Chains A and B, each alone.
Chain A
Amino acid sequence: MNNEPFEPRIVAFFCNWCTYTAADLAGVSRLKYAPNTRVIRVMCSGRIDPQFILTALAKGADGVLIGGCHPNDCHYAEGNYKMLRRFQLLKRLLQDFGVEESRVRLEWISAAEGDKVKSVINEMTEQLRALGPLGMPAKFAAWDQEVEELQHQVDEASETEAAHA
């Protein structure tokens, strides 16, 4: 297992009208791309709660891809702008968390751009392959253990203190 190259896992949130349809088009056109992405369909990129992205990363995704309609083309007029604003804020947060910028990506992909689905997924897979795993679940486990040990030490210290008293 360890000899195999690292295969990143990418969770993708695609809007129903543009990017999900574009991914369907990529399929109908039989374009071949890396099998590393799992798509979750939402009606609009505006539905994507930053919590979804953080949860995906926390639960083991190495990257998150968000696909929405091009500016001006949103099926719901402006949901993609709302997503864009949240994305800008989220990027700062992720930076503070030490998550590399290329792990979370926002792309405008119209229903006609099946080839863009292919190129974006391939490019992102390559980038993440080079970057290596994010490994959040393991980090969480390590942090939990660290906290547990600290707690243990605190408990012990207070017990000793109590004994002295």
Chain B
Amino acid sequence: MKDEPEIRIGFYVCHCGTNIAAMIDCQAVARYAAQLPFVAVSRDYKYMCSDPGQELIQRDIKEHALNRIVVASCSPLLHEHTFRNATEKGGLNPYFFHMVNLREHNSWVHSDGSKATAKAFAQIRAAIARVPHHKALEVLQVPIHPDVLVVGGGIAGIHAALTLANAGKKVYLVEREPTIGGHMAKFDKTFPTLDCAACILTPKMSQVKSHPKITLWSFSEVVKLDGYVGNYQITVKHKPRYVNEDLCVGCLECIPACVFKTPKFPDEFNQNLGKRKPVYIPFPQATPQVVLIDPEVCLNLKTGKCKQTCVEACGDRQAIDFDQRETFDDIKVGNVIVATGFKTFDAHRIPQYGYGAFPNVFTSLEVERMINTSGPTSGAIVGRDGKHPDTVGFILCVGSRDEKTNKWCSRTCCMHSMKLAQLIKEHCPRTEVYIFYMDIRAPGKGAEEFYDKSLRMGIRFIRGRVAEVTDWAVTPEEEGRLVVRCEDTMAGFVRRIPFDMIVLAIGKEPQADAQDVRRLFNMSCGTEGFFLERHPKLAPVSTFTDGIFIAGACQGPKDIPDTVAQAGAAAAEAMVLIDQGHIEIEPNTAHISEVDCSGCKSCLPLCPYTAIAFIETTKKASINAALCKGCGTCVAACPSGSITQNLFEDDEIFSEIAGVLAYE
């Protein structure tokens, strides 16, 4: 610092309205800072992040010849960027700025004002001690590969892929099931408009298939991701479907030809309510229109002894290939959109509702398939005993809003149940339909009106959490039926109501392998296991890893409109990077001072990105800044202290340590 001009620090403490000022004495903080070494200006201000707040910094830089800026406000993860910009606009290198987290790490988490203020003194002391060591740094620019990977082919992935492709971007859409469509493909109608789900979804599915800018890989999974924003290298595994996708024309002639004359095996797409053959297509509009063979039940694949009538039926097309194996593709993309969706709650986990024990207890998704005209019952509502129910009871919040299972709301099970209830009423107006609820949550456009319509249709709503579904009959009317026991909190007593069919409105959970997917894409999960967005309000589709975006129910339960909106947002975020052509990344990389390096090679095995190379000619280590991601592990390990990390230099951290401890 000797040859540099005198250090002149501008210090600013933000009230954040009352968020900080109600707990921390901001004037006292400003006074305390004013008398610390090198501080030329010290101010407190109501909202530092506002335009006037930022302008204050810019003006002070010029008027007071400031060359370091410290702002004590909220978390740097939120506004570091804002204040670096302000610093830069004021004419300084943005890295002469440092931020103190007085809100998330202090005023919001403490309840004793004088102790919080004392802690604030220590925090700002550290920053003011640190910032003189800051150096001017150049922002690193990384080029963005224009292609995008979309993971998951539900409505979120489909919408994101089409949006990008329509903007002229090359998209790889990877779906692990044999068809795209996700949960939405299983729905009959969509609330609150009751438009047919297939009618609005299948055109989008075929667009995906035919779009020249989209490569659709169904029955495939991402197995590896390397690289960094703008330059991801990805390996995709294609699972064998025992049918050559390029040769199959989707004529489906192999299915009737199969040696199993009748469908025998549980049909996953229909929630196992129907049956399928070993060679099958999940549903009529499946995309791609390509059959697949289930190796678990196919006679030929299991025993090798089969007449192979399917091959015969396929004839010259020769699409069936029993020798198919897993294959892999390596691709390069600049951005990834993760849209891996959710899984439904397993109703067996609440045994008192009798799912699995009583044949006529169904899940909402099962009824959804049943009510669908292309479903296993061709649209008829029938119990597992083959009878049409006269009375149907819906139990809401099964696996939602429950301390014992999932605390969160599924956000759709009220509306979904009302939709099914209305459809049942439409199919068979004489059916008595009850809905047992805790609260009806019908926000959003047209939703409250939909609730109102349900009431007018004569659907009965009983407020109370259901205690159990039992076949214990105490009156002749209850004999042979399923009795719901529940407290009717409106009427103020416990009721027993018999039904012919019970529908459990099951909640939404993170996918079973969400943790693996999270690791694969270097994301975080919230406590409940859904992927964590960078900021709940201001960066809802970004993650903590640049170039990895999230959309749809993998981020948290949501309905179709919200999912589509998020998918569009994720596509737009990716396009921002693509159209910029490059991204600026934090210049927090490590560097080796060649003079001090002893060539001991301690650092070489520590780098997970192989950014450190040993130069044989000089016998020194050298760091490739393009590969370095700035973790600093090598810096801490270097025995000769010859590695430094920008923004986290030893001097900077040691002065922070001294700073936080300087104030009693």
Is the pair A11, B657 in contact by a Cβ cutoff of 8 Å?
Answer: yes
Q: Give the docked Cα–Cα distance between A48 and B522 (Å).
A: 21
Give the distance in Å from the alpha carbon of A134 to the alpha carbon of B566 in the complex.
52
Residue of A nearest to B637 (CB): A82
Q: Are B654 and A52 in contact (CB under 8 A)?
A: yes
Q: Is the CB of B77 within 8 A of A20?
A: yes
Closest to A111 in B: B524
B525 x A35 contact (CB < 8 A): no
Is A17 an interface residue when CB atoms closer than 8 A count as contact? Answer: yes
Query: Cβ of A76 and Cβ of B109 under 8 Å apart?
Result: no
Stretch at the interface among A38-46, A98-106, A143-151, A155-163: A38-46
Q: Is B176 at the interface (CB under 8 A from chain A)?
A: no
Chain B, 107-130, CB within 8 A of any chain A CB: 108-112, 115-116, 118-119, 122-123, 126
In contact, A47 and B636 (Cβ under 8 angstroms)? yes
How distant is the Cα of A21 from the Cα of B543 in the complex, in angstroms?
A: 12
Q: When chains A and B are docked, how far (Å) is the Cα of A127 from the Cα of B527?
A: 27
Closest approach, in angstroms, between the C-beta of A89 and any C-beta of chain B? 12
Given contacts A11-B660, A113-B527, contact A35 B653 (CB under 8 A): no
**Do the beta carbons of B660 and A43 come within 8 Å of each other?**
no
B642-660 CB mask vs A (1 if < 8 Å, else 0) is: 0001001010011011101
B660-A38 in contact (CB<8A): yes
Q: How many A-B residue pairs have CB under 8 A?
A: 140
Contact A112 B527 (CB under 8 A): yes
* Residues of B contacting A24 in the complex (Cβ-Cβ under 8 angstroms): 75, 77-78, 101, 104-105
With a cutoff of 8 Å between Cβ atoms, the chain A residues found around residue B194 in the complex are none
Say whether B90 faces chain A, with CB atoms less than 8 Å apart.
Answer: no
| Contacting residue for B657 out of A21, A41, A55, A72, CB 8 A | A55
Which residues of the partner chain B approach A124 to less than 8 Å between Cβ atoms? none
- A40-B660, A41-B76, A52-B657 known; A35 vs B629 contact (CB < 8 Å): no
A128 at the interface (CB under 8 A from B): no
Q: Which of A40, A47, A75, A111 contacts B635 (CB under 8 A)?
A: A47
Residues from chain B with a CB closer than 8 A to the CB of A18 are 524
A39: chain B residues within 8 A (beta carbon):
101, 105
Q: What mask results when residues 17 to 33 of chain A are scored 1 for a CB within 8 Å of chain B, else 0? A: 11011011011101111
Chain A residue numbers with a CB within 8 Å of B545 are 75
Quick one: closest B residue to A46, CB to CB? B633
List which A78-128 residues lie within 8 A (CB) of chain B. Answer: 78-79, 82, 86, 110-113, 118
- Chain A residues contacting B527 (CB-CB under 8 Å) are 112-113
- Residues of B contacting A21 in the complex (Cβ-Cβ under 8 angstroms): 77, 524, 544
Please give the distance in Å from A66's CB to the nearest CB on chain B.
Answer: 12
Question: Chain B residues near A9 (CB, 8 Å)?
Answer: 660-661
| Residues of B close to A47: CB separation below 8 A | 631-633, 635-636, 645, 648
Contact of B658 among A20, A31, A49, A59 (CB under 8 A): A59
Nearest residue (CB) in B for A55 is B657
Render B590-607 as a binary contact track against A, CB cut-off 8 A, 1 for contact: 000000000000000010
A27–B104 contact, CB under 8 A?
yes
Q: Which residue in A32, A40, A49 is a CB contact (below 8 Å) of B110?
A: A32
Decide: B109 and A31 in contact? CB cutoff 8 A.
Answer: yes
A11-B657, A21-B77, A59-B657 known; A42 and B106 CB under 8 Å?
no
Contact with B631, one of A28, A44, A61 (Cβ below 8 angstroms): A44
**CA A11 to CA B661, docked complex, whole Å:** 8
Distance between A12 CB and nearest chain B CB, rounded to angstroms: 9
Give the chain A neighbours of B106 by CB distance below 8 A. 35
Query: Contact: B632 with A42, CB < 8 Å?
Result: yes
A23–B636 alpha-carbon span in the complex (Å): 23
Q: Is A165 in the interface zone, CB < 8 Å from B? A: no
Query: Nearest chain-B residue to A17 (Cβ)?
Result: B544
Contact status of A112 and B632, CB under 8 A, knowing A35-B106, A49-B650, A76-B608: no
Within 8 Å CB of A50, what residues of B? 636
Known contacts A30-B108, A73-B519, A40 near B524 by CB under 8 Å:
no
Q: B632 contacts A44, CB within 8 Å?
A: yes
| Cβ contacts B525-549/A at 8 Å (1 or 0 each) | 1110000100000000000110000
Q: Bound state CA distance, A42 and B643, in angstroms? A: 16
Docked Cα-Cα span, A89 to B606, in Å, equals: 17
Establish whether residues A82 and B633, one from each chain, have CB atoms under 8 Å apart when the complex forms. yes
- How far is it, in angstroms, between the C-alpha of A111 and the C-alpha of B524 when the chains are bound? 7
Residues of A within 8 A of B650 (CB): 49, 51
Contact B636 A40 (CB under 8 A): no
Q: Is B103 engaged at the interface, CB distance under 8 Å to the other chain?
A: yes
A111-B544 CB under 8 A given contacts A47-B635, A55-B657, A79-B631: yes
CB-based nearest B residue for A38: B660
Chain A residue numbers with a CB within 8 Å of B637 are 82
Residues of A within 8 A of B636 (CB): 46-50, 82, 86
CA distance A51 to B635 in the complex (A): 12
Query: Which residues on the A side are within 8 Å of B116 (C-beta)?
Result: 35
Q: How far is the CA of A33 from the CA of B105 in the complex (A)?
A: 10
Residues of A within 8 A of B658 (CB): 55, 59
Q: A62 to nearest B CB, angstroms?
A: 10
CA distance A130 to B122 in the complex (A): 23
B115–A59 contact, CB under 8 A? no
Q: Interface 1/0s, chain B 320-351, versus A by CB < 8 A?
A: 00000000000000000000000000000000
- Distance from B625 Cβ to chain A, minimum over Cβ atoms (Å): 15
Distance in angstroms from B289 CB to nearest chain A CB is 40
Cα A27 to Cα B545 in complex, Å, equals 22
Task: Determine if B372 is an interface residue (Cβ-Cβ < 8 Å).
Answer: no
Q: Which of B126, B608, B629, B653 contacts A42 (CB 8 A)?
A: B653
Interface contact A59-B631, CB-CB below 8 Å: no
Give the chain B neighbours of A28 by CB distance below 8 A: 104, 108
Q: Are A32 and B104 in contact (CB under 8 A)?
A: no
Least distance between A158 CB and chain B CB atoms (Å): 37
Complex-state Cα separation, A59 to B205, whole angstroms: 64
Across the interface, A111 reaches (CB within 8 A) one of B532, B588, B606, B630, namely: B532
Within 290-337 of B, Cβ neighbours of A (below 8 Å) are at none
Residues from chain B with a CB closer than 8 A to the CB of A73 are 519, 524
CB distance from B404 to the nearest CB of A (A): 19
In contact, A56 and B75 (Cβ under 8 angstroms)? no
Cβ–Cβ contact A40 & B75, under 8 A: no
Cβ-neighbour of B105 out of A16, A27, A52, A56 (below 8 A): A27
Residues of chain A within 8 A (CB-CB) of B657 are 11, 40, 52, 55-56, 59, 61
Name 22 interchain pairs, CB-CB below 8 A, sorted by A: A20-B77, A24-B77, A24-B78, A27-B105, A32-B109, A32-B111, A33-B110, A35-B115, A35-B118, A38-B119, A38-B126, A38-B661, A39-B105, A40-B657, A42-B653, A47-B633, A56-B661, A73-B524, A76-B629, A77-B608, A79-B632, A86-B636
CB-CB nearest 5 A-B residue pairs: A27-B104, A47-B632, A46-B633, A76-B631, A77-B608
